[in-house]
Amino acid sequence: MQLYLDTANLEEIREAASWGVISGVTTNPTLIVRERGADFKTTISAIADLVDGPISAETISLDAEGMIREGLEYAAWHPNVIIKVPSTTEGLKAVAHLTRKGIRTNVTLCFNATQALMAALAGAFIISPFVGRIDDSGVDGSQLIREIVAIYKQDTTITTSILAASIRHPRHIIEAAIAGADIASCPFKVLQQAMRHPLTDRGIEQFLADWQTRT
């Protein structure tokens, strides 16, 4: 399973990219606005210079015509930019059109397996089921990953990658990997947590303490 970073913060991206584990970056309108005053095109272009992989830039339009217009604009910013559209019928139209134009898409805000199936049939490059927000509603978000994996496996013509989104904690990374997701896109804080363990820290301390006793 690949790891993407879910942020528009360039410092976080620069740091995580140095770890050698990041294969792409996802953004959304909330994450872009969080980088107060950041210009959308400048930010996406800077991200594309930091990570050599798919960079998701999300459209704002609710109609296919607007999504396509935005998608054509954003895709021209960098070859690695892929276009995020919501799991709606207008989003399907935009995916079908942009795919015919050779532009990759990430269908986001996916909350059930039928949305994922239809996104794949429309030609989506990535589908983004929101595991954390499903968990927030009291339902097992990882079950949706398992359903999508099972459905996609039934059709060898489906090449859509399953990206576990809305990751809240390291356990979501493990569950997504076990369920068969192709990608998990994580906030920087979760990636930091994922590498921390008190026994690792204690082991390092003990090794150093023992080393100091060498004669």
Q: Which of 84, 93, 101, 189 is catalytic?
A: 84
**Closest to ligand G3P by CB, 113 or 165:** 165
Quote the least distance from Cβ 141 to ligand G3P, whole Å: 10
Nearer to ligand G3P by Cβ, of 30 and 213: the residue is 30
- Residue 20 near residue 57, CB atoms below 8 Å: no
Looking at 77-149, which runs of residues are DSSP E strands?
81-86, 105-110, 126-129
User: CB–CB of 162/181 below 8 Å?
Assistant: yes
Output the smallest distance, CB 199 to ligand G3P, in A.
Answer: 29
Q: Given the rule CB under 6 A, which residues bind ligand G3P?
A: 6, 26, 28, 31, 130, 132-133, 165-166
What are the helix (H) ranges across 35-88?
40-50, 64-75
Pick 27 or 204: Cβ nearer ligand G3P: 27
Distance CA 105, CA 110 (A): 13
What is the Cα 204 distance to its own chain's centre?
33
Is 93 in the active site?
Answer: no
Residue with tokens 């204690």: 202
Q: CB 84 → ligand G3P: shortest distance, Å?
A: 8
Catalytic residue numbers, as ranges:
84
